[in-house]
């Protein structure tokens, strides 16, 4: 059996994802943006299933409930977005081959 290693505070706000209010927020977001934002940036049209917080909310109720949000496919949510949050920047490249995220180390002067 896996051990839940989240803090007690995180365990508290994680329950918000199981409320009817969150299901309504998720449904509204997925209706507004039905395709994965990251896939679209790559020129692909992939149906989104996850309402993702663009910025970490860290348990802040206002940020949790009001976003900003983006729609993502499971692959981008579970891999790409998690790596971005751990690193603190995106590794996405522009057409010129240069990182698009101003927080990327290559863009820091």
Give residue-wise pLDDT tens across range 9-36: 666 788 899 999 999 999 999 999 999 9
CA distance 70 to 56: 12
61-69 CB contacts, 8 Å cutoff, 24+ apart: 61/13, 64/13, 64/16, 65/16, 65/21, 65/25, 67/29, 69/25, 69/29
Q: Determine the pLDDT at residue 36.
A: 97
pTM listed for this prediction: 0.75
Tokens of 34: 């039905």
Reduced to 3 states, what is the DSSP secondary structure of residue 86? helix
Of 1-5, 57-61, 89-93, 104-108, least confident by mean pLDDT is 1-5
Q: Determine the pLDDT at residue 25.
A: 97
pLDDT of 90 higher than 80: no
CA distance 86 to 34: 26
């Amino acid at each position: 059996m896996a051990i839940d290693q989240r803090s007690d505070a995180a365990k508290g706000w994680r329950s918000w994802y199981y409320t009817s209010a969150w299901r309504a927020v998720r449904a509204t977001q997925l209706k507004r943006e039905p395709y994965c934002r990251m896939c679209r940036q790559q020129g692909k049209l992939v149906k989104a299933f996850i309402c993702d917080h663009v910025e970490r909310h860290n348990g802040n109720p206002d940020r949790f409930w009001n976003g900003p949000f983006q729609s993502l496919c499971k692959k981008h949510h579970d891999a790409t977005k998690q790596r971005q949050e751990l690193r603190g920047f995106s590794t996405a490249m522009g057409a010129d081959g240069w990182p698009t995220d101003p927080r990327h180390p290559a863009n820091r002067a």
